[in-house]
Amino acid sequence: MNLKGRSLLTLKDFTPNEIEYLLDLAEDLKRKKRMGIKGNLLEGKNIALIFEKPSTRTRCAFTVACIDEGAHPEYLGKNDIQLGHKESIEDTARVLGRLFDGIQFRGFKQETVEKLAQYSGVPVWNGLTDIYHPTQVLADLLTIKEKFGYLKGIRFVYMGDGRNNMANSLMIGSAKMGMDFVIAAPKDLWPEESLIEECKLFAEASKGKISITEDVGAAVDGADVIYTDVWCSMGEEDKAEERIKLLKPYQVNASLMNKTGKDHTIFMHCLPAVKGNEVTEEVFESKASVVFDEAENRMHTIKAVMVATLV
**Out of 140, 269, 270, 300, which one is annotated catalytic?**
270
Q: CB neighbours of 255 closer than 8 A, spacing ≥ 6? A: none
Please report, as a single letter, which amino acid is at residue 22.
L
Annotated binding site for carbamoyl phosphate: 55-58, 82, 106, 133-136, 270-271, 298
Q: Give the separation between CA 7 and CA 194, rounded to whole angstroms.
A: 23
CA 24, 29, 30, 32 torsion: positive or negative? positive
The conformation of residue 44, written as its DSSP 8-state character, comes to T
Please give the Cα distance from 169 to 191 (Å, whole number). Answer: 11
CA pair distance 44, 184, nearest whole angstrom: 46
- Would you call 60 a catalytic residue per the annotation? no
Catalytic residue among 136, 232, 243, 269: 136
DSSP-assigned beta bridge partners for residue 74: 48
Select which of 6, 229, 232, 251 is catalytic: 229
Q: What is the bridge-based pairing of β-strands 102-106 and 46-51?
A: parallel
Q: Which helix (H) or strand (E) holds 211?
A: strand 209-213
Q: Which residues are annotated as a binding site for L-ornithine?
A: 165, 229, 233-234
Is 270 in the active site?
Answer: yes
The residues, any chain, with a CB within 8 Å of residue 18's CB and separated by 6 or more, are 1, 3
- Which ranges of the chain would DSSP assign to H, the alpha helix? 16-34, 57-68, 89-99, 110-120, 134-148, 165-176, 193-206, 216-220, 240-247, 254-258, 281-284, 291-310
Q: Which of 155, 269, 298, 300 is catalytic?
A: 298
Binding-site residue numbers are 55-58, 82, 106, 133-136, 165, 229, 233-234, 270-271, 298
From the list 6, 66, 104, 106, the catalytic residue is 106
Could you tell me the CA-to-CA distances from 201 to 12, 41, 182 in Å, in that order? 11, 36, 15
3-class state of residue 279 by DSSP: strand
- Cα–Cα distance for residue pair 181/156, rounded to 1 Å: 5
For this structure, is 133 an active site residue?
A: yes
Rounded Cα distance, 76 and 265, in Å: 40
Active site members: 106, 133, 136, 229, 270, 298
